[in-house]
Amino acid sequence: MHQQKTNGNTTLNQDVVYLNDILDTVLFNEGGEELLETVKYFRKLSKALRDEASPSNFDQLNQEIMKLAPELRNKVIRAFSVNLQLYNIAEQNYRIRRRREYQMEDDTIIQPRSLEAGVNELYNHDITIEQVEKALEDLSLELVITAHPTEATRRTMLRIHQRIADLLKQWEFSYTRYDKKVIQEEIETEMTILWQTAEIREKKPSVMKEVSNGLYFFDKVLFNVLPVLHQDLEDLLYEKYSHRFHVPAFLRFGSWIGGDRDGNPNVTAKITYKTLKEQRALVLTKYMESIDKLKEKLSQSTKKVDVSEDLLESIEKDKAELNYRGWHKQDEVYRVKLGMVMRRLRLTSEDQPGAYIDAHALREDLMLIQDSLENHHSKSNPIKLLRHIIRQVQLFGFHLATLDVRNHSGEHEATITEILRQVGISEDYKALSEGEKQHVLTKVLQDPRPLISIYDEFSESSQEMIETFRTIKLAKDTFGERAIEVYLISMAEAVSDVLEVLVLAKEVGLYRVYPDGHVKSRLHVAPLLETIDDLKNGPTIIKSLFDIPLYRKHIEARGDSQEIMLGYSDGSKDGGNLTANWELYKAQEDIHSVASSYGVKLKFFHGRGGSLGRGGGPLYSSLLSQPPITLGDGVKITEQGEVLSSRYLIPDIAYRSLEQATSVLLSSIAGIRQTEKHREMPSDEAKDAMAFISEVSLKKYQDLVFNDDQFLSYFNQGTPLNELGALNIGSRPMKRKGSNRFEDLRAIPWVFAWTQSRQLIPAWYAAGTGLKAYLDETGNIQLLREMYQQWPFFRATINNLQMALTKADLEIADAYTDMIDDQEMAVRIFNDIRDEHKITKDMVLQIAQQDDLMDHQPNIKESVRLRNPLVDPLNLIQVQLVSRLRQVQEDSEEFNELLGEVLLTINGIAAGLRNTG
């Protein structure tokens, strides 16, 4: 079925060569012949290093780097960084071209994991209309953008990338020599601007700057792409089934930006409210832009058509209420009505009388127009712009994106401790046992009277906590219930951690127990299970919560639904990637089983990062690897950092990523995966195998990371960890509590630093030892191969290992050990890492039955191969610069100059590997 007409690598390489030629012109214009020839020479040496893997080539490249004068070195770093950015643009254009080529084919050649492929799969597997309707009811995917500091590229530069991508697409479709010449000149101009733009942020972004960055993706891409995807699915289902399905608003975007206060003192209650106001301002502006276009289109006159009485009545009511005629030609009733809609939207944005009460009222006005149009316009060919706007209102409301609020369990405990002491309930709540805490909290929740009043005074931190909950209530009252739906608790280790949040919600009126015993609750409370121990204890915590009658009533008030967040970062940091993923899989199955026994729907919120060491990988692959039974109650996933720009900067790429996820999720919910070859997996034998592999892997990982007392020195000195903090890529501090303890180091810099040094150990280390131990114990390679072929979770695990092992480069990584003071220790630990890399690679190839890593995805394999010669020089320059930087006095002129160059190398390597944290 799959057939590609063009050679993808050929067209990709043509784009790369085309952009490189223009870049060389810019390098010559900006740095003269010396810069251009140096860059060409380094490209040649680096390619030879890869082609021949000779120590002499490595030494020669290192020697040539050492000879570089500082000014030229700076330009060489920037040249390779821009080169990699252009390669990323060429790859994106290739993906768009490939999608377009499929669309040009007849209906026998369909792109895998497209919406069309997903609908065809339903039809070809005899999924009935009734089954499809049920699957659509259960279909729910929420993607949550976060401000986690993993995007190393400034938004200014991302916009230039977008313009170059648009021009490259135009160049492909230009047919005259003149057009091609003009476009090439424009690309050269954009590259020159890119070269002349400062790459590094001078200071950390404010939270509101991060909010602005996040809103950019809604403004330029998501506001239009999401409605199109919904409508395309509806149309494709109609074409295949000849039945008009109602596709609900199943795909939504939420946000943490401005709401995530875990470890970020810059996120306050005032910032949260300001964020929601910014979101509403944007969505109202977008509606007015859309309505203006629709008003231009709907020029039908009552002299030519009959319109509905309901519409005419609503117009008269609007005129009386708004004292406004809407449009100068009263016979053009749709324009009259849309003029009224525009007036109400403006009043809404100004909080003036006559404003819309809520987004539902806006949708009702638009539905009046749609119903009236059906009196005289073909139903088989509806006005799509109107349907598009109605869908936008359904998706985005007046809040644009649901804002999650998150904080650390310890912060809630401290506030509750202070409140209970002040009102005389408990002198030291924090010192109570878990059972005693639950008893106190349950008693407080049962009492309808508040503990505090607006006149009470508390410490600054407790007062801010109380104001946060007051803001949540104000936000829901002002912007709608969907403005904030979930409160997330980081490091939720006990039942009391959840009950504490309910007590705070009760104090502001978000939660209330009435005299007759029924409960009103306006806020989901979601524990975040992060560490390996948390994941193992998760089922017990959830069962204990559901056993509390008052909490069960809270769940009933929330539609018998409970959200639970699963953290991928800290589990991986604590136990290694393989063990963390297995514990996540088991926790989902076990917690889902507990919830089902209580009749509770469970939505899992997957806190994934962009890197493989933090649960990264393609969106559709993440969905495939989850236990199928957990997908029907809704799925929620974080999208953060560099993932936002790689997936959602360009509309075609955004559509492709989202249609893949939709296609996979719809097929899974409809039961196709469970009825085919996957029905036998995971067998009990397979689960036992994973448990064995995980246990051995965990020991191997912790022996190095926690039990080797020299490991932290190896990590701190052998990676650019300490330099990352100067990159200013996020408002949140790099470490919790400003501590130097490993436990307080955030997972993002942990992964970021290993990626820069090309070791990537969070993504693969210890997996090979676990797999090999199982094979040595049982000799059952056939079971592992069957698991790979038939169990999506295991397949995703092995394929992610392939990607991580491919991006890791231990020849380059070896150079980083030169930065470590104790060379005997450096050699010892590095040799262990090298041995584990070999074991893991050998095991992966045996299981996947491949000759080389990534043979199953040759395009990605080729991409990594072509990128390496551009990344390698940056790594070697980085090693030399960091080594020198650590020898000079801080805040000296030389220190600041060297640090600036180090940060440039970090940016370039991040662009080359497409992963940061």
Burial degree of 728 (CB within 10 A; 0-12, 13-18, 19+): middle
Q: How confident is the model at residue 855 (pLDDT cuts 50, 70, 90)?
A: very high
Residue 733 has pLDDT above 70, yes or no: no
The CA distance from 823 to 98, in Å, is: 49
* pLDDT top residue among 181 and 743: 181
Among residues 286, 506, 554, 573, the one annotated as catalytic is 573
Among residues 75, 148, 295, 476, the one annotated as catalytic is 148
Burial degree of 134 (CB within 10 A; 0-12, 13-18, 19+): middle
Reference 703, options 801, 827, 576, 572; nearest CA is 576
* Domains in the chain: ranges and CATH: 278-396 (1.20.1440.90), 402-648+668-673 (3.20.20), 680-913 (no CATH)
Q: What is the dihedral of CA 23, 29, 31, 32, to 10 degrees?
A: 110
In degrees rounded to 5, what are phi and psi of residue 881? -70, -45
Reference 291, options 378, 390, 359; nearest CA is 390
Pairing mode of beta strands 486-490, 405-408: parallel
Q: What is the dihedral of CA 254, 259, 260, 266, to 10 degrees?
A: 140
CA 77 to chain centre: 29
The average confidence (pLDDT) of the chain is 91
Three-state DSSP at 667 gives helix
The CA distance from 612 to 799, in Å, is: 11
Residue 510 has pLDDT above 70, yes or no: yes
Burial degree of 306 (CB within 10 A; 0-12, 13-18, 19+): exposed
**Strands ordered across the beta sheet of 635-640:** 402-403, 251-255, 141-146, 635-640, 601-607, 561-567, 524-529, 486-490, 405-408
* pLDDT top residue among 157 and 321: 321
pLDDT at residue 683, rounded to an integer: 94
- Sign of the C-alpha dihedral, residues 416, 418, 421, 427? positive
Residue 461 has pLDDT above 90, yes or no: yes
pLDDT at residue 42, rounded to an integer: 94
Residue 57 has pLDDT above 80, yes or no: no
The CA distance from 753 to 725, in Å, is: 11
Task: Write down the pTM of the prediction.
Answer: 0.90
Q: How confident is the model at residue 737 (pLDDT cuts 50, 70, 90)?
A: low
Gyration radius of the chain's alpha carbons: 29
Q: Residue range 58-86: average pLDDT?
A: 93
The CA distance from 228 to 220, in Å, is: 14
* pLDDT top residue among 673 and 589: 589
Amino acid letter, 745? L
* pLDDT top residue among 678 and 204: 204
Helices (runs of H) and strands (runs of E) counted in the chain: 38, 11
pLDDT at residue 401, rounded to an integer: 97
Name beta bridge partners: 638: 144
Three-state DSSP at 490 gives strand
Q: How confident is the model at residue 200 (pLDDT cuts 50, 70, 90)?
A: confident
Known catalytic membership, residue 573? yes
pLDDT at residue 676, rounded to an integer: 43
The CA distance from 914 to 912, in Å, is: 6
Reference 275, options 420, 390, 436, 145; nearest CA is 145
Max Cα-Cα span within the chain: 92
Residue pair 259/484 in contact by the 8 Å Cβ criterion: yes
Residue pair 504/465 in contact by the 8 Å Cβ criterion: yes
Q: How confident is the model at residue 738 (pLDDT cuts 50, 70, 90)?
A: low
Residue pair 606/638 in contact by the 8 Å Cβ criterion: yes
Known catalytic membership, residue 399? no
* pLDDT top residue among 913 and 151: 913
Residue 615 has pLDDT above 60, yes or no: no
CA 462 to chain centre: 31
Least confident of 546-555, 619-628, 794-803: 619-628
Q: What distances in angstroms separate CA 698 from CA 400, 575, 783, one per listed residue?
A: 42, 6, 21
pLDDT at residue 731, rounded to an integer: 59
Residue 183: half-sphere exposure toward Cβ, Cα within 13 Å: 20
Q: What distances in angstroms separate CA 165 from CA 6, 169, 185, 501, 862, one per listed residue?
A: 20, 6, 14, 46, 21
Burial degree of 233 (CB within 10 A; 0-12, 13-18, 19+): buried
Q: Taking the chain, what is the end-to-end CA distance rounded to the nearest angstrom?
A: 37
pLDDT at residue 34, rounded to an integer: 96
pLDDT at residue 3, rounded to an integer: 36
Tokens representing 259 are 């709401």
Q: What distances in angstroms separate CA 405 from CA 419, 580, 752, one per listed residue?
A: 21, 25, 25
Q: How confident is the model at residue 543 (pLDDT cuts 50, 70, 90)?
A: very high
* pLDDT top residue among 737 and 518: 518
Q: Residue range 336-353: average pLDDT?
A: 96
Least confident of 200-214, 605-619, 728-742: 728-742
The CA distance from 571 to 513, in Å, is: 37
- Sign of the C-alpha dihedral, residues 35, 37, 43, 48? negative
Q: How confident is the model at residue 148 (pLDDT cuts 50, 70, 90)?
A: low
pLDDT at residue 1, rounded to an integer: 33
Contact partners, residue 546, CB within 8 Å, separation at least 6 = 552, 555, 594, 595, 598, 600
Tokens representing 7 are 């050679």
Residue 674 has pLDDT above 60, yes or no: no
Reference 226, options 243, 258, 250; nearest CA is 250
Reference 899, options 664, 742, 725, 773; nearest CA is 725
Q: Residue range 83-104: average pLDDT?
A: 86
Q: How confident is the model at residue 878 (pLDDT cuts 50, 70, 90)?
A: very high
What is 46-60 written as a DSSP string? HHHHHHH--HHHHHH
pLDDT at residue 126, rounded to an integer: 93
Reference 297, options 325, 334, 327; nearest CA is 334
Q: What is the dihedral of CA 343, 347, 352, 354, to 10 degrees?
A: 40
For residue 479, how many other CB atoms are within 10 A of its CB? 23
Q: How confident is the model at residue 677 (pLDDT cuts 50, 70, 90)?
A: very low
* pLDDT top residue among 104 and 826: 826
Residue 39 has pLDDT above 90, yes or no: yes
Q: Residue range 401-407: average pLDDT?
A: 97
The CA distance from 826 to 518, in Å, is: 63
